[in-house]
A and B are shown apart, each in its own frame.
Chain A
Amino acid sequence: MRIALFATCIVDAMYPKVALATVRILERLGHEVVFPQGQGCCSQMHVNSGYFEDAVPVIRNHVRAFTSVDYDVAVAPSGSCVASLGHQQPMVARECGDDALAEDAAMVADNTYELSELLVDVLGVTDAAEQLGSYFPHPVTYHPSCHGMRLLGLGDRQKDLVRSVAEIDFHELPDAEECCGFGGTFSFKNPDVSGAMAEAKLRNVESSGASLCTGGDASCLLHLGGAASKRNVDVQTVHFAEILASTRSNPLTVDGPVELSIPQPGRRPAGRTTPAGATR
């Protein structure tokens, strides 16, 4: 299959490794990945902040980017952005008087999958160790991000995939379904409440017995990881795509600060080591 990657703005700019991980997973299954270079953002930041008019050019751009390239299905490593495509883009376009854009947006959204949705429902991946060669011998807990859970109805797809990774040490997260407090611009419009929510989530992560928290939305992970860093709490966050992409030959390392760049060869950041047992 020819699969169009919607990286999402936050992954594109801040977590390129998550996009690369998505590519590696899909290529491993024998699919071709294309990246429509015209893509920008899903417009959720504008819509959720009430700036519908400013959202329209962003929506129009997304629709243009994903209708001018040929592909079978599109995928994004984010439940929230995928939910926004179907849930908000047509509504905002209609609200701003562009019914044709609303229809096109709905069409693009219908063919865009969240990563775990694509893997489980379309590509039939249920055992990451077996089918993807995924290997990650670390203690991990999992936070289900709200929009994937409640708007897309992802259920346990992400968690089940993570649990099926070879040698993973999975820990359940208490009160997992409670929001982490990110909420887009809520995070800086209501910083105190947002921070309190992050603290509650971090406490739950700590009590899970794992110091590494995975999830399906880079924005939530940026918020949680940043809150942990601010508070000197020993919790790190990692996108589940990176865990699925991790193999015995090319394991994801988690020592030191979580590296965001796609590292350039020979320029390994200082303080990074391969975890024991990662190579055989």
Chain B
Amino acid sequence: MSVTSLGMPAVRPVHGQGNLHAQVAFPKAAKKELQNEQMRANIRHATHTIRHKRAGVVGEVPDWSELRDAGSAIKETVMAHLPELLEQFEQNVVAQGGVVHWARDADEANAIVTRLVQEQDTTDVIKVKSMATQEIGLDEHLAEHGITATETDLAELIVQLGRDKPSHILVPAIHKNREEIREIFSREMPGVTDELTSEPRVLAEAARQHLREKFLTSKVAISGANFGIADTGTLSVVESEGNGRMCLTLPETLITVMGIEKLLPTYQDLEVFFQLLPRSSTGERMNPYTSLWTGVTPGDGPKNFHVVLLDNGRSAVLSDPKGRSALHCIRCSACLNVCPVYEHAGGHSYGSTYPGPIGAILSPQLTGITSEKNASLPYASSLCGACYQVCPVKINIPDILVHLRDEDIRTQHGQRVDQSAPAPASQDPAVGGQDDWREEKSLTQDEGRGGQDTSPREGSLQQLGSRARRAGRRVREAVPSRGLPTQMDAMMKGASFVMSSGQRMAMAERGLPLGRVVAGRDHAIGWLPGVVGGWTDERNVPEPPRESFRNWWKKHEGETAERLERDGVSGAEDPVSADDAAARHSAATGGSPADGPGDDEPGAGPDAVAGAASESTGDPERDNIERGEGRQQNGGRA
């Protein structure tokens, strides 16, 4: 047992261990998962169903927006006062006859739970569905010590029997369909015959028979917790099946593993979360089973009650003001159900116990962004914002993703040192491994070819290219700790140089016709080199235009009257403003609208070609007037 420092500790908080690390970087894992068409079809069907159900029941609540505000505010309060609230919670649990244990990390939590089970002289435990115990790898740890843990949540049971991994927070077997479940049950469940059908009722009945015996014979149950109430020492689990209720009431000993962020200050705060959670989670107005328990009551329920308070990286998350709201999460999984990335890549691509958008911000924060494979997770999002829109506690997931990307880049560039102790190598197969997910060659490997690819010989462009390369060299020199800059570094540095000046943009855009040459007769570019090759793997690049707008506008800014004439809007139904404009501009340019270059003009004939050749109206005097007018206006008003 140990006491963990919280808040702004003198000792830096440790990062989390356990099932929080991706084994394979997200892009590679997703590439593999995308090939599983069955999985994708199952997930698509399930997430769309829950998504629409959620939208329906959320739409019924007139004060949903206020409820979200309240949920967010309560969680902010919890994070601001976590040390005091935890101590208050401990006092109240102890006062009600419970025992409180503090676990700094997964190892400590697993050791505590294992010891408690061994003290009850049993080798079989039943489990309530729990994310925290998955996070620390409790089932595997118990198995190493000869203790068999049986998952009693139907979906968790399916996953456990199938020797699979959960792929969703709420519906861990979302990637399996009925037929696949029937096959797992027939193979793995004792006493099940070949006559088992894939009808949901039949499958549920088979699981019920299998589990009933476990409930009646097990001496120890292990649960997680949805909420812990500081001012009463009460714990709560909400569920749909009643199997959790069985575990929480029948065995002699109940051990609850709860992440320290699960606290609520007062019992009354439950009124907010009991509304937010079921509607966001299962799309139900109310969940079927809500269990609340406080310490032990003689003659009613478990005789021994232990709660293990788990840090495992949470204090480290708390110490980052920009990322800490990830700890507000109540594990409803609404963000997974609306996420198009999750829909296609599936839960396993995220590696960690926590998949989807919330996993993409929570896992790398718990483990530290220095965990190489987890550093790919903040990039596993198109930043569409659907997750933030549905989050019942308003976690701004897109903003935290961008914040973590910034942290990752600064870490790569040696500008940020993670002072927290890294997870031990034994717990994190990814740490120390090759950082191959970025799949980028270093500049020195690729410089020559890259230079040829991107530096055309034209005078000004060549100059631009060499300046960009010099900028690239400066990056290389500025990166002492994590090796050579990536292609991405060089691209970003070069783009920053060009995009921070209108003149340089104009110069670079003169290279657009080269793109037209590359596009050739297909009018499309189908292959690009290096890091941007990912673009052309999935899409063609259309033939670039002959000229950028910026460069075109310099010559044609003053042709308002011609544009209006060509569009024929003086004859449109709103002639007043159009006529006014035409008149005003005609007056200003001192000429009448004439044929000029512009948009598609079906009738443009040989007369207009002359204009094209000189890229002007064909009247030098008027061109001068117009350009002068333009400058005068800009200068006069600047």
List the A residue with the shortest CB-CB distance to B438.
A189
Q: How far is the CA of A88 from the CA of B405 in the complex (A)?
A: 14
- Report B136 CB to chain A, min CB distance, Å: 29
- B66 proximal to A (CB < 8 A): no
Contacts of B547 in A (CB 8 A): 16, 261-262
- Report A78 CB to chain B, min CB distance, Å: 13
Q: How far is the CA of A19 from the CA of B554 in the complex (A)?
A: 13
Binds B, one of A47-55, A104-112, A156-164, A207-215: A47-55
Contact flag A70-B574 (CB < 8 Å), given A28-B564, A46-B492, A263-B600: no
List the A residue with the shortest CB-CB distance to B533.
A188
- B481 proximal to A (CB < 8 A): no
Contacts of A225 in B (CB 8 A): 542
- B345 proximal to A (CB < 8 A): yes
**Interface 0/1 of A25-42, CB less than 8 Å to B:** 001111110111111110
Closest 10 CB pairs of A and B: A249-B568, A183-B382, A50-B405, A133-B572, A265-B608, A226-B539, A188-B534, A70-B637, A195-B538, A179-B384
- A193 proximal to B (CB < 8 A): yes
Contacts of A95 in B (CB 8 A): 406
- B512 proximal to A (CB < 8 A): yes
Q: How far is the CA of A192 from the CA of B546 in the complex (A)?
A: 31
Contact A9 B383 (CB under 8 A): no
Contacts of B523 in A (CB 8 A): 257
- A119 proximal to B (CB < 8 A): no
Binds A, one of B79-87, B301-309, B311-319, B499-507: B499-507
- One of B564, B568, B573 near A27 (C-beta < 8 A): B564
- Report B23 CB to chain A, min CB distance, Å: 17
- Report B12 CB to chain A, min CB distance, Å: 22
Interface residues of A (CB under 8 A from B): 2, 7, 9, 11-17, 19-20, 23-24, 27-32, 34-41, 43, 45-52, 54-55, 57-58, 60-61, 65, 68-71, 88, 95, 129-133, 146-147, 150-151, 177-179, 181-198, 200, 222-223, 225-227, 229-230, 245, 247-253, 257-268, 272, 274, 279
- Report B49 CB to chain A, min CB distance, Å: 13
List the B residue with the shortest CB-CB distance to A61.
B500
Contact A37 B496 (CB under 8 A): no
- One of A51, A58, A151 near B385 (C-beta < 8 A): A151
- One of B30, B535, B552, B554 near A262 (C-beta < 8 A): B552
Contacts of B404 in A (CB 8 A): 50
Contacts of A130 in B (CB 8 A): 573-574
Contact A229 B382 (CB under 8 A): no
Contact B534 A187 (CB under 8 A): yes
Contacts of B581 in A (CB 8 A): 27-31
- B604 proximal to A (CB < 8 A): yes
- One of B381, B496, B509 near A51 (C-beta < 8 A): B496
Binds A, one of B201-209, B257-265, B591-599: B591-599
- B97 proximal to A (CB < 8 A): no
| 17 interchain pairs, CB-CB under 8 A | A28-B578, A61-B500, A69-B637, A130-B573, A133-B569, A150-B385, A181-B382, A190-B26, A190-B380, A229-B542, A230-B538, A230-B539, A247-B572, A250-B568, A252-B600, A262-B598, A264-B546
- One of A12, A23, A27, A45 near B505 (C-beta < 8 A): A12
Contact flag A13-B544 (CB < 8 Å), given A58-B496, A95-B406: yes
